Amino acid sequence: MNVKELARTCGFSAAAGNASLQRPVTSVYCCDLLSFAMGRAPEDSAWITVMGNINSVAVASLADVACIVLSDGVQPDEAMLTKAQQQDIAVLLSDRPAFETGLAIHEAIRA
């Protein structure tokens, strides 16, 4: 399943991403501490966080995750969106809390 299909299946909206929306998603990872995420988020995972700032984009890019999913209705700030668009990092938005967001992704990629 790719990022775009994941967004559609789970009812997330896409705030950023072009070619990155076609990337495959193979797992899901959740953490708000950036050094944790950086060291532990698997490649090609959907990374759930409430950190809607520019540093999340840097971490997503370096850890090579498939997409960032901002949970709990968090909105990305302007700088984050600009950077995500520049670096083509997909950013999805979920109104649901982190756990439920992760569960929905887990079910979608297992289906």
Partner 1 sequence: MTLNFVVPGDDFTRAGEASGAVKQKMKQLGFPSDVIRKVSIALYEGEINMVIHAGGGQVDVEISQDAIDLVLTDHGPGIADIEQAMQDGFSTAPDHVRDLGFGAGMGLPNMKKYSDEFHLESEVGVGTTVRMRIYNH
Ligand X SMILES: Nc1ncnc2c1ncn2[C@@H]1O[C@H](COP(=O)(O)OP(=O)(O)OP(=O)(O)O)[C@@H](O)[C@H]1O
Residues 13-32 interacting with ligand X (rule: CB under 6 A):
none
| Contacts of 99-102 spanning 24+ positions with Cβ under 8 A | 99/30, 101/10, 101/30, 101/48, 101/69, 101/71, 102/28, 102/30, 102/48
21 or 51: CB nearest partner 1: 51
Residues 8-67 interacting with partner 1 (rule: CB under 8 A):
32-36, 38-39, 43, 49, 51, 53-56, 58-59, 61-64
Question: Does residue 55 belong to the site contacting ligand X (CB under 6 A)?
Answer: no
Find the shortest distance in angstroms from Cβ 110 to partner 1.
25
